[in-house]
């Protein structure tokens, strides 16, 4: 049974369970969807990037959509993830999702290929809309993962050309100003769904953005609580929403933790702790799209840290805090040393310049015979007016 798409509420970008042999675990997937529906989730998003869509076969995609529609049984909508970096595949997957009863499709920006926003609109989203009728699409903007982004202007063009089919967008840019631009250009008819769990309330409360909900990763774990939080905020009950958010905060921090591991070559070189990419919010995560400046600063700190951390002894769990403190102290020490060296260089240059100037001045002033000024000092320019237009230093005669 196909449920009409309503872009308001909490939608779970559901994880994909795999069997030990790497195949899709259909029984486990049914249980996941049943749990979501039982907890009152608004909708399910199977086959999205949180569901590791690049690792799935198209048969797996089809199976997951079918199973999600059956398990939801009209109690929740199904937004099928059909995005690809191959437009033809995205068209075919969207057509298949419509035939299998999906309420809408989620199309992530065409990753890796690096298209411009105009190309995304005309050669990707536009082609899907022209090729497959009668199913809404949800553009998914997450430049930190795709390396490209549908601009607010092109999003507005898509929405205004076909407001019924492009009625919403999943915003995972982490940029509130960009979202306000979406609203300014597209108008009140565009539903903006949060793609970042930790920004959902801020987006819903913003007087310009007025987000209508979230496509969430955290609802894989706590669908009921997050749905209640979104519903409470939509009803204007900020106190209840804040209370739920406070209780969920430790869970959010736990899920996005990053582990560390040692990297050691066979000759024991390079022993140091390297942070491993933790389970980040793939289908919705702003910190996942770290800004280039942040990444550059992290690389610089890491390079400095390698000079001040000993390579010899492994770090055990009990030593991590001390190692982190030593790293920070070492970085600060090296920065202070660099600043001191810069100051010394400036001072040395100043001394060289002043010494050269004194030598030039001494060469210009003869021992005797120069006329004197009114104050008993020899003028710098041989008694005439100063050629530089300003008073130079004069030397007293002995």
Half-sphere CA count of 282, side-chain side, radius 13 A: 18
Residue 173 and residue 179: Cα distance in Å, rounded?
8
Looking from the CA of 205 toward its CB, the CA atoms found within 13 Å total 13
Residue 3 · residue 103 · CB < 8 Å: yes
Closest by Cα among 27, 30, 90, 6 to 54: 90
User: Distance (Å, rounded) from C-alpha 283 to C-alpha 109?
Assistant: 12
Structure tokens at 231: 């519903």
**Which amino acids are annotated catalytic?**
140, 170
| Cβ atoms of 137 and 165 closer than 8 Å | yes
Burial class of residue 240 in the structure, from the number of CB atoms within 10 Å of its CB (0-12 exposed, 13-18 middle, 19+ buried): middle
Give the C-alpha distances (Å, rounded to integers) separating 82 from 3, 135, 244, 318, 328: 18, 12, 32, 45, 44
């Amino acid at each position: 049974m196909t449920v009409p798409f309503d872009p308001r509420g909490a939608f779970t970008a559901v994880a994909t369970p795999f069997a030990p042999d790497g195949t899709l675990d259909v029984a486990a997937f049914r249980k996941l969807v049943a749990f979501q529906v039982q907890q009152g989730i608004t909708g399910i998003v199977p086959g999205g990037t949180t569901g590791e869509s690049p690792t799935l076969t198209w048969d797996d995609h089809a199976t997951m959509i079918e199973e999600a529609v059956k398990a939801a049984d009209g109690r929740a909508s199904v937004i099928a993830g059909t995005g690809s970096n191959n437009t033809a595949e995205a068209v075919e997957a969207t057509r298949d999702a419509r035939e299998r009863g999906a309420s809408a499709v989620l199309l992530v920006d065409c990753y890796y290929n690096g298209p411009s926003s105009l190309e995304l609109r005309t050669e990707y989203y536009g082609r899907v809309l022209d090729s497959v009728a009668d199913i809404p699409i949800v553009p998914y903007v997450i430049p930190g993962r795709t390396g490209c982004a549908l601009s607010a202007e092109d999003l507005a063009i898509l929405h205004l050309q076909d407001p019924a089919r492009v009625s919403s967008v999943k915003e995972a840019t982490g940029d509130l100003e960009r979202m306000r631009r979406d609203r300014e250009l597209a108008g009140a008819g565009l539903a903006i769904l949060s793609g970042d769990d930790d920004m959902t309330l801020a987006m819903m409360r913003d007087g310009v953005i007025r987000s209508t909900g979230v496509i969430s990763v955290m609802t894989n774990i706590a669908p009921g609580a997050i749905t209640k939080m979104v519903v409470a905020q939509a009803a204007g009950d900020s106190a209840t929403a804040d209370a739920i958010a406070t209780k969920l905060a430790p869970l959010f921090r736990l899920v996005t933790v990053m582990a560390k591991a040692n990297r050691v070559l066979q000759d024991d070189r390079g022993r140091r702790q390297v942070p491993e990419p933790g389970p980040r919010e793939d289908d919705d995560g702003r910190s996942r799209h770290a800004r280039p400046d942040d990444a550059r600063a992290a690389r610089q700190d890491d390079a400095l840290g390698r000079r001040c951390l000993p390579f010899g002894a492994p770090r055990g769990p009990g030593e991590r805090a001390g190692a982190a403190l030593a790293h920070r102290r070492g970085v600060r020490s090296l920065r202070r040393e660099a600043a001191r060296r810069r100051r010394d260089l400036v001072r040395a240059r100043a001394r060289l310049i002043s010494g050269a100037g004194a030598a030039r001045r001494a060469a210009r002033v003869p021992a005797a015979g120069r006329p004197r000024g009114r104050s008993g000092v020899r003028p710098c320019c041989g008694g005439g007016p100063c050629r530089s237009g300003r008073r130079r230093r004069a030397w007293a005669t002995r």
